[in-house]
Structure 1
Amino acid sequence: MAVSRDKRLGLMAVPIAVLAVLPASPGAAQQAGAATTADSASLIDPAAMAAMDKMSAALQTLPSFQVQSDVTSEVVLVTGQKIQFGGTVDVAVHRPDAFKVVSRADTQTREMYYNGKTFTIYAPKLGYYASFDAPSTIGLTLDKARTEHNIEVPLADLFTWGTDQTVRSRVKEAIVVRPERIGDRQCMHYAFRQEKVDWQVWIDQGAQPLPCKLVITSRTDEAMPQYTAVLNWTLNSVPEAASLAFQPPADAKRITMASAATLAKAEGEQ
């Protein structure tokens, strides 16, 4: 049976090799660099970047929020065929010290918790949970989960959008597509391109310029698998930090959190 290829997605930029002609002189190199900069600037619509700035500011003004998302992810078989899986991701955030993320699908369910001191991941169908000592901020905790334990928190960009000032420098192309409806919301569709990922966002044109939909396309795989999330926001019900805390069921078993280095070694030995 065909197995899936690596399809990890994320809003990140990783340099790729660029085919270039060696310039005949330093002056030619400067001219080529200037031309490249000018060409890059012409591919970025200021209106698209301004819309992202406005959305980022709106997200950062939310002290707490809840988002219910219908998500679709693609797995690419070695034959090149794409297989889609659906699910839901429910996010509740109490800034600056707590969040709860529940990712449900037929293939697996995971719950992730942060209380300002500890990050916990729980697999309710298996009955196991594991934790690590976490930093004092959500952003640093997400970074530690990813880099030290190889854990990607679904829709983590919603927590930190607007706080990473390097995002702008990673954008190579940005366009305004057109106004479109997502459910009963009138949204504006934007598309962006980075080194190894394309992403699209639909932003609500109502009172709160929040994202209605996200599509992330991997460019590291020639089949270009996608991850799609349709977001539904709840802003009038503020979650308390205590309500997001992890309470292990009586029959749950605690296990040790694996490190990214251990996981990489295990994969290398397979």
Structure 2
Amino acid sequence: MNLRKLFQLAVFMLSASLCAVPGFAAEEPVSGAPGSQTDAKAVLTKMCDFLAQAKQFSVSIHAGYDVLQETGEKIEFGELRKLTLVRPDRIRVDVERSDGETGLVLFDGQEITVFSPKDKAFARAAKPGDVDHAIFYLLNDLQLRLPLAMMFVTRLPSEMERRVRSVEVVEQDTIMDVPCTHLAARTDEVDFQVWIPSQGDPLPRRVVITYKKAMGQPQFRANLSDWNLSPNPPEDFFVFTPPEGVQRIPFLAELEVAKPDVKKVKKGGKQ
């Protein structure tokens, strides 16, 4: 089995890239023509504070991402994800890729599980703690790349402060499901755009990330809809019971850690 394929399902699950702005007070969103950086920072900060303080929510994420081909051509692939988060220690992401393949990423406060029904396999790692620790463990220790992950951690405001170098209002967009303030921001690694409602709860409606240092500058695009601030899922919603015939396999990062020293094996004459 190609172990790497299994964890491609988790690649676009949750953005290690959407992160960062100074800590200004959250003010009412601006309206009218594009404004100053101060106006843009206030809008972005309000969104970050709101997401970081939400006790629970669910959201549907219809995402597309570029894959650079050997010819230099960029081809878009897509996913539909349903994310449900209950703080402090529950998160579930159900994913369906554009080719029909499905997958699951789950954290129940004790363990992280990634499941591929097509491959009849799952990986699991013990990581007691809260959602923030689980997400950073996925990113740093298990070495999974998870766009939009920072939107779902309580550290979002401080991550914004640390990473964003500039942000500005592009326009007031009237063709989304609700009127939105369209922001464009820059970090050292990526440029990103985000559409935030001009009134009501500042729950983002669209995100576009450009990986400007990657070959071909590919983009990740996501439309966020069906926000629910009181999903109240049952406790067993975050419990994974392996179906019959499904095998457990290690995460790739765990395989790398466990890999033997080839030179020592040869020198000892035994395997």
TM range (shorter): 0.7 to 0.9
> TM-score, with normalisation over the residues of structure 2?
0.76
Question: Any idea what the Cα deviations from partners look like across 1:177-226, whole Å, max 9, x if unmatched?
Answer: 11114542211100100112001110012320111111110011242110
Q: Could you tell me which of 209, 234, 238 is aligned with 2:232?
A: 238
- Cα distance in 2 between the residues matched to 1:101 and 1:245: 12
Aligned to 1:28: none
- Cα distance in 1 between the residues matched to 2:222 and 2:167: 20
- Deviation, structure 1 residue 12: 6.8
Task: Name the aligned partner's letter for residue 256 of structure 1.
Answer: P
- Deviation, structure 1 residue 129: 0.3
Q: Could you tell me which of 141, 144, 158 is aligned with 1:148?
A: 141
Q: Are 1:169 and 2:162 counterparts?
A: yes
CA contact 1:150–1:260 (8 Å) conserved in 2: no
Aligned to 1:193: 186
CA contact 1:182–1:212 (8 Å) conserved in 2: no
SS in 2 for 1:191: strand
CA contact 1:218–1:224 (8 Å) conserved in 2: yes
CA contact 1:64–1:239 (8 Å) conserved in 2: no
Change (3 A) 1:260 1:131: closer
Q: Which runs of 5+ in 1 are unaligned?
A: 1-6, 14-43, 266-270
- Cα distance in 2 between the residues matched to 1:148 and 1:182: 41
SS in 2 for 1:185: coil
- Cα distance in 2 between the residues matched to 1:182 and 1:10: 28
Question: Any idea what the Cα deviations from partners look like across 1:16-56, whole Å, max 9, x if unmatched?
Answer: xxxxxxxxxxxxxxxxxxxxxxxxxxxx8111111111011
Q: Are 1:50 and 2:56 counterparts?
A: no
CA contact 2:56–2:230 (8 Å) conserved in 1: no
Alignment: residue pair count: 228
1:65-80 to 2 correspondences below 5 Å: 65-80=57-72
SS in 1 for 2:61: strand
- Deviation, structure 1 residue 259: 1.3
Q: Could you tell me which of 215, 219, 230 is aligned with 2:212?
A: 219
CA contact 1:117–1:135 (8 Å) conserved in 2: yes
- Deviation, structure 1 residue 152: 3.0
Question: Any idea what the Cα deviations from partners look like across 1:223-267, whole Å, max 9, x if unmatched?
Answer: 21100010011234322443222122122211122216729x8xx
Question: Any idea what the Cα deviations from partners look like across 1:96-130, whole Å, max 9, x if unmatched?
Answer: 11110122213543210001110000011111001
> TM-score, with normalisation over the residues of structure 1?
0.77
